[in-house]
Amino acid sequence: MTISERTVLIATERGVITPHQAERLRALEVELAPGTDAAIPQPDDDERLRFITGFGDIFVTIGLALFLGALGYFAEAVGAAAMWATVGAASWLLAEFFTRVQRMALPSIVLLVVFCASVFMASSAWFGVIEPLIPSLLSLSEDPLVLVLAGLATLAAAMAHYWRFRVPITIAAAAAALVAIVVGLVAAMVPGGLAAAINPVLMLCGLSVFALAMRFDMSDPQRLTRRTDIAFWLHLLAAPLIVHPLIRGFIWPDGAPGEGNALPMLAVFAGLGVIAVLIDRRALLVSGLAYAGIAFASLIKVSGFSGSATPLTIFVLGAFILLLSALWHPLRRAVLALLPAGLARRLPNPNVLPTTRTASSS
């Protein structure tokens, strides 16, 4: 007896299996079909993510934005803390249906982000600190106790949310709360000196988050489980925490880019590119694109093309991204070939290694 496509679709809708598991079942069906090659073809994109399970995700997300925005507007009359608490509670209740029952990818991500942001803002407002929707760590660090307590509340809320709903992005939200706690503790220990220490602190936090992401990545090198999604969101958080403090704190400390720091910025971007290819994650490159663009623009102006610096910079960056995308797998093979076989096989997607080397290393 075979399982029909209709049964697979219903099982996905009811949460019996995940959309990713359904996709793997279909691939297995193709593999075992008579007259087909036994080897499963390598996917076009090794960094596939489950953002959208269907157009219904987009439709529901629009409804969530409208509903939660209006709810926050009406609840603001009671006070800032009550408004954020109301939005956070509503996000949890909505997740009970759209995340736990419907298993919708994009609404689950949005509801988690809104929930954690609401807990953080409600906690800050409860202690009398009213900040914009995206608070500045430097401004909140003037009240380090508030920052630490708000971070602790957000961390506890994120862990409870993950225990209930298992949304992969939740681990990154908890890591972001930990970063806020660390910044608050440093601000409490070094009164008035956080502005000078913020770049090293954030960079160390970014490296720690990166190490955690690699732990998840290396535990699932073929990217078949939920751990690969968790790793992606952690890499997305770690990238700006590493790139921005590195460039703004050490290469471009005075806030005035020029020819003198253009080449170091490009060298950093090239190094990030090698790491991105090595671990098969593009988040590091995305975070460094803006700085690479500034460096390119500075060099173009020095070369005498100041009138067309912006379009030339966009052209060069666009061509670089397209070329890198086209050569991603060959570059990975070349970089992994330089590593010891045991280490290369533990990195994400080692299937780009030559077959002879993989066989010999086993």
* Cα maximum dimension of the chain: 72
Q: What is the pLDDT of residues 70-103, one digit of tens each?
A: 999 999 888 888 899 999 999 999 999 999 988 8
Contact 205, 182 (CB under 8 A): yes
Q: Tell me the C-alpha distance between 253 and 200, whole Å.
A: 12
Q: Tell me the C-alpha distance between 102 and 114, whole Å.
A: 18
Full-model pTM? 0.78
Q: What is the pLDDT of residues 330-361, one digit of tens each?
A: 888 888 888 887 777 777 765 555 544 444 44
Contact 43, 351 (CB under 8 A): no
The single-letter DSSP state of residue 118 is H
Q: What is the pLDDT of residues 132-178, one digit of tens each?
A: 545 555 555 567 888 889 999 999 999 999 999 989 999 999 999 99
Burial classification of residue 298, based on how many CB atoms lie within 10 Å of its CB (0-12 exposed, 13-18 middle, 19 or more buried): buried
Contact 171, 233 (CB under 8 A): yes
Closest C-alpha to 257, from 226, 298, 303: 298
The count of other CB atoms within 10 Å of the CB of residue 127 is: 13
Q: What is the pLDDT of residues 272-310, one digit of tens each?
A: 888 888 888 887 788 778 777 777 777 776 666 656 666
Q: Tell me the C-alpha distance between 208 and 178, whole Å.
A: 11
